[in-house]
Amino acid sequence: MNIVMLTNTYTPHVGGVARSVESFTREYRHKGHRTLVVAPEFPEASDQEKDLLRIPAIQNFNGSDFSLVLPVSGLLKDTMKAFQPDIIHSHHPYLLGVTALRIARYRGLPLVFTHHTRYEEYSHYVPGDSPALKRFIIEAATRYANLADLVVAPSESIRKLLREREVTTPVEIVPTGVVLENFSRGEGAGVRRQLNIPEDSYVVGHLGRLAPEKNIQFLARSVVEFMRYAKGRSDGTGLPHPCYFLVIGTGPEEPTIREIFREAGLDSQLHMLGTLQQPDLADALAAMDVFAFSSKSETQGMVLTEAMAVGLPVVAVDAPGAREVVKDQDNGRLLPDKASVQEFAVALASLAEQSPPERSQMRETARRTAEAFSMDRTAEKILGCYASLQPHKDAGWADPEESWEASLRLIKTEWDILKSAGSAAGAALSRTGH
């Protein structure tokens, strides 16, 4: 099968969508399927990437770490003609997502759309952020989903949300899997030695893009509160001291984390490692004792299953993605979504105070959770979804790019795009009260 993946973000950008596309692409190729990725240009991207087409893009859009894809001319005509795709898989409803729709309709191919993101949570990156803009973003994503042949939801929470938003296209739940063998060999002792972290210290860890929508300030303040709590009780009551915070990832909130720890006088107990690749990533995760996660904008628990594959219990807030992975008092702690900094800190302390047998049991339960999210299983499921889809009835001309029928399909697609955008704008504005 020849699969085209179109995404507005891809490696070396750090983020869940980029890592998801990369993981599925690698697994598809491993299973013998040819996969072409169409993605924006990005600083420091390798020029040795196979079957990857980079599109010109504006870097660091509006002060973020995202790239803004520039308009693509010619519908990638020559590339698609040479590649002969069977499936077009879009990973965003905007920018290259629109290009994906054009290609699919132009060539009479099935369009699959993964609804990775609660897009309205990212509206602060766009000038003029407002409630009306958030409504427009939701409406536009919903209408795009209804133009696809199949929508992939990374979790049950997101499938339920899509149905509430009146997505009528069939929806399949397929989370991004974890490559278990990549994380089972992590060696954390060396990382601790390199960072001068004592062997008997307790290490709270985090992995992810450090951005406002990830609730990073709350997380940093919670860990600081936990460290203060641990220091005050380091008198033989079971809480280890000193404690450390080990952060993997980059993003605009990095200076904020550093400032919070500096103000608390705990900057010597903060280690920020930036972006890591395997095997360094698994080693750094293995250096942790617990994984802390407070984002409420996720659609799936990808980094949570990676942490659990190492054997880490997770402390998280009840939100989409997390609630499908974290089972309270089983493989970690799942707190109410309105939990306070103090409550999050106490949850961290409750795991730090566990006896060795209790800690060992929770780590084993975390590993078993990760096994249910293996990359092999999730890739097989989505490949089965691809195989169930049929080309559109008007496909099959010897040279569709030159045919009159293909031109008519393109005109209809452009009308669908314009009608969808106009309807989304109208629906958003109709709810403003004006």
User: Do 22 and 157 reside in the same domain of the chain?
Assistant: yes
Is 255's pLDDT higher than 50?
yes
β-pairing, 68-69 vs 57-58, is antiparallel
- Decide: 364 and 311 in contact? Cβ < 8 Å: yes
Question: Looking at 347, 373, 399, which one is the last position of a domain?
Answer: 373
Q: Supply the pLDDT for residue 362.
A: 98
> Residue 138 — pLDDT band, cuts 50, 70, 90?
confident
Q: Supply the pLDDT for residue 424.
A: 47
User: Do 142 and 207 reside in the same domain of the chain?
Assistant: no
Query: How many domains does the chain divide into?
Result: 2
pLDDT (average), residues 294-304: 85
- Decide: 87 and 395 in contact? Cβ < 8 Å: no
Number of other CB atoms surrounding residue 212 within 10 Å: 17
Question: Looking at 373, 393, 417, which one is the last position of a domain?
Answer: 373
Domain range for residue 50? 2-177+376-430
Q: Supply the pLDDT for residue 70.
A: 57
User: Do 274 and 368 reside in the same domain of the chain?
Assistant: yes
Amino acid 374 reads: S
User: Do 64 and 201 reside in the same domain of the chain?
Assistant: no
Mean pLDDT check: name the lowest of 15-19, 82-86, 118-122, 191-195: 118-122
Question: Looking at 327, 349, 373, which one is the last position of a domain?
Answer: 373
> Residue 429 — pLDDT band, cuts 50, 70, 90?
very low
> Residue 124 — pLDDT band, cuts 50, 70, 90?
very low
User: Do 83 and 214 reside in the same domain of the chain?
Assistant: no
Rounded Cα distance between 205 and 69, Å, is: 33
Residue, of 388 and 302, whose pLDDT is higher: 388
Instruction: Work out the end-to-end distance of the chain between its first and last CA atoms, rounded to an integer number of angstroms.
Output: 50
> Residue 141 — pLDDT band, cuts 50, 70, 90?
confident
How many Å separate Cα 70 from the centre of its chain? 23
- How many percent of the chain have pLDDT more than 90? 57
User: Do 115 and 199 reside in the same domain of the chain?
Assistant: no
Residue, of 127 and 36, whose pLDDT is higher: 36
pLDDT (average), residues 91-115: 90
Q: Supply the pLDDT for residue 61.
A: 46
Q: Supply the pLDDT for residue 123.
A: 47
User: Do 194 and 336 reside in the same domain of the chain?
Assistant: yes
Q: Supply the pLDDT for residue 77.
A: 83
Q: Supply the pLDDT for residue 398.
A: 41
User: Do 102 and 202 reside in the same domain of the chain?
Assistant: no
Q: Supply the pLDDT for residue 180.
A: 93
Q: Supply the pLDDT for residue 213.
A: 83
Is 18's pLDDT higher than 90?
no
Q: What's the sign of the alpha-carbon dihedral 110, 57, 208, 296? A: negative
Q: Supply the pLDDT for residue 235.
A: 53
- Decide: 40 and 54 in contact? Cβ < 8 Å: yes
Average pLDDT, rounded, for the chain: 84
> Residue 185 — pLDDT band, cuts 50, 70, 90?
confident
- How many percent of the chain have pLDDT more than 70? 79
Is 110's pLDDT higher than 60?
yes
Please report how many Cα atoms fall inside a 13 Å half-sphere around the Cα of residue 103, on the Cβ side.
Answer: 31
Is 72's pLDDT higher than 80?
no
Q: Supply the pLDDT for residue 404.
A: 41
User: Do 7 and 135 reside in the same domain of the chain?
Assistant: yes
pLDDT tens-digit profile of 302-347?
899 999 999 999 999 998 889 999 999 999 999 999 999 999 999 9
Q: Which two tokens stand for residue 200?
A: 């008997």
- Collect contacts of 407-412 with beta carbons under 8 A, ≥24 apart: 409/105, 409/106, 409/108, 410/75, 410/102, 410/105, 410/106, 412/105
User: Do 16 and 105 reside in the same domain of the chain?
Assistant: yes
pTM equals 0.74
Q: What's the sign of the alpha-carbon dihedral 11, 189, 359, 257? A: negative
- Decide: 86 and 2 in contact? Cβ < 8 Å: yes
Q: What's the sign of the alpha-carbon dihedral 114, 42, 182, 254? A: negative
Q: Which two tokens stand for residue 369?
A: 């959770």
> Residue 127 — pLDDT band, cuts 50, 70, 90?
low
User: Do 10 and 112 reside in the same domain of the chain?
Assistant: yes
User: Do 219 and 352 reside in the same domain of the chain?
Assistant: yes
**What CATH code is carried by the domain that includes residue 275?**
3.40.50.2000
> Which strands, in side-by-side order, build the sheet including 270-272?
270-272, 243-248, 202-207, 290-293, 314-317, 332-335
